[in-house]
Amino acid sequence: MSDKAVALQYDNTTSKAPKVLASGRNDIARTIIEKAKEFDVPLFANEMLVDSLINLEIDHEIPQELYQGVSDVFIWLMRNEKKFKEKF
C-alpha cells in the first residue's frame, strides 16, 4: 500500500478545475485509500502526480501546470466506469 495519497474532486458546475479533497502520508494515506475502496472509488497510482499534488491545500483547485496529468486520470476513470457499467 502507498505511503502517500491524494483524493480529487471535480464538479464543472462549481469550479474550473479539480480540487484536492484529501491528502496525506502514512496512516492518513492508508485511511484515504481504505475509504476509497469502501465506497468503490477507483484508485489510480501515479507517484509523480501524487508528489505534485500532495502539498496542495485542501479544497483548492489544482494549478494549471497539473491539468494534463490530472485530465489523464479523469480520462482513465471515465473509460473504466464505462467498462464497469457495460458488465452490469
In angstroms, the CA 86 to CA 12 distance is 25
In angstroms, the CA 3 to CA 38 distance is 18
Evaluate if residue 81 carries a pLDDT over 80.
no
Domain count, the chain: 1
Check residue 1 and give its pLDDT: 54
In angstroms, the CA 7 to CA 32 distance is 7
Evaluate if residue 2 carries a pLDDT over 80.
no
Q: Domain containing 68 — which CATH number?
A: 3.40.1690.10
* Prediction pTM value: 0.82
50-72: per-residue pLDDT in tens?
Answer: 999 999 999 999 999 999 999 99
Check residue 77 and give its pLDDT: 85
Q: Which domain holds residue 58?
A: 4-87
